[in-house]
Amino acid sequence: MSSDDQITPSPTETDHGFELRTRRRWPWIAGGAVVVVGIVAAVGIPLLNPAKSAADVSGATLTVATAEGNASEQALINFVASKVAPKYGIKIAFTGLSDSNTINRAVNDGEVAGTVYQHKLWLSQVLEANPGFRETAATPVFRWGFGLWSDKHKKVADIPDGATISLYSDPANESQGLWVLERAGLITFKAGTNKAKATQDDIATNPKRITFTLLDFGAQSRALPDLDAAVGYTEYYLAAKIPLSKEIYAPAAPDEFAGQLTVGTKYASTANIKKLIAAFKDPAVQKFLATDPTVKGILLPLAAK
């Protein structure tokens, strides 16, 4: 983490990965069941069809894309462009694109140099749905703020027997939600479960007999007053004017759920993309994430605990 609303100032039903319906955006999905769709040939990116990829052109501006309206990721890219890229002899520009399918196609085709819009599990869903795509998660960059929210209860221990808790309706972010609940002691997993890919079928014990409801990103934050709790991205709750005090549990996400700089695999070895990756690995990026108020609580440094 859909509608055509933007993340700022109001929550959307998009992308934190890729659009799982035919509408807009990413790990911010759509209500109810989610269907992963491939990309049809008709999908295009306005103004983004260079004859030759900037990755192959010395001195070209390298465009890094994310979902349009995502203010925190835009702030990160603009910081790297202005404060870090000159150290590596490259020029970087931000662009916002309308949905994850469009973003990932542009990365695959070299129409943009990369994106910081998804974690590895979301990318794996993209590649599974689109077998022709060749993209590489080049380096982790940040952790999204992600936790357990409640309008009714002040702490995890207050969640009652028979509670209703919402998870996101796409598989990758549903897994992350289950991981949070397992960390909070509300459920346990069966032995041998890969927690990064867990489903409700992997739950071994559910002592409070929690009922799970799957909602998309925008719908989940709007439904919070009707739920006992929900597991979701800080960004969507703050955009919905829900105070951070409603987040009652927020462990640092594991590496599997870190936001990645993703690049087109066939361009990964070019000089430009190697410099782009080095720029996003620069220690100044982690300092920015730890200190800048425009991303505070939304994009966390990799060292966040």
Per-residue pLDDT of the chain (305 residues; tens, 9 = 90+): 433 333 333 333 334 433 333 232 333 322 233 333 343 333 344 445 556 899 999 999 999 999 888 899 999 999 999 999 999 999 999 999 988 889 999 999 999 999 999 998 889 989 999 999 999 999 999 999 999 999 999 999 999 999 999 999 988 899 999 999 999 999 999 999 998 889 999 999 999 999 999 999 889 999 999 999 999 999 889 989 999 999 999 998 778 889 999 999 999 999 999 999 999 999 999 999 999 999 988 999 999 76
* Contact (Cβ atoms closer than 8 angstroms) between residue 105 and residue 13: no
Residue 106 lies in a domain: yes
Domain shared by 111 and 181, yes or no: no
Residue 102 lies in a domain: yes
CATH number for 229: 3.40.190.10
Residue 30 lies in a domain: no
Domain with 191, as residue range(s), is 146-249
pTM given for the model = 0.77
Distances (CA, A) of 205 to 15, 161, 173, 212: 31, 13, 20, 14
Residue 133 lies in a domain: yes
Predicted local confidence at residue 50, as pLDDT: 54
Domain shared by 140 and 183, yes or no: no
Domain shared by 204 and 223, yes or no: yes
Domain shared by 234 and 280, yes or no: no
Q: Indicate the number of domains in the chain.
A: 2
Domain shared by 116 and 203, yes or no: no
